[in-house]
Amino acid sequence: MFYLSLIEHTLRLPPHLLHLPLAEALKAELEALFIDKVIEKLGFCISVYDISSIKGGFVFPGDGASTYTVEFRLIVFRPFIGEVIVAKLIESDANGLRLSLGFFDDIYIPVDQLPNPSRFEAVPNTRNQGRWIWDFGGEEDQSDEPQFVIDGRDQSVIYHSIPLEQPENSKPFAPMVITGTLNHDGLGAVSWWEEAEMIEDES
């Protein structure tokens, strides 16, 4: 899920940071450039772990900033195919579920990856909002529980290019989207399987 990636980057160090120790100033600038950003094929940037080397310090004519080439390690979030993660439900509509890890909110469970059979129950006077209900053995379990275990066996991680234009009323642009499934034993709302274990213990 989390990786240390070695990166080399050339950056300008603004004059207002020159009063700081060099490594501290460069780390602050790197964090401003990378943290909460997505690098294609690498993942979602969490934190600058450390700085391995610093080269340069050149001041180019007409520029008051010094320029450095920095080699550093970056902590990135990139789930692998087949990974099982725990996330919280933040949205439920006719297209499926949207889940969050707290620091990353673009995890989607499409309708065809919900437990089968499931049905959608719309909330009156809302735009496409509602809840998904899993019908099994004549009983119902709702998919609006706050915590889910998500399987990544059929998961994909897709990186999107920044669009030139965003249509009106469209969802916010997401440069990295994770698609998962709940349609396997042991997946779904954590409470579903806690109740199942309790029933087994009682029997």
158-194 pLDDT tens trace: 998 877 676 666 677 889 999 998 888 778 777 665 5
Per-residue pLDDT tens digits for 53-109: 999 988 888 888 899 999 999 999 998 888 888 888 888 888 899 999 999 999 999
Centroid of chain to Cα 103: 7
Strands 43-59 and 66-77: antiparallel
Per-residue pLDDT tens digits for 26-59: 999 999 999 999 999 899 999 999 999 999 988 8
pLDDT for res 199 = 45
Q: Which two tokens stand for residue 154?
A: 């059929």
Q: Which two tokens stand for residue 152?
A: 């990544």
Per-residue pLDDT tens digits for 124-138: 777 677 888 877 665
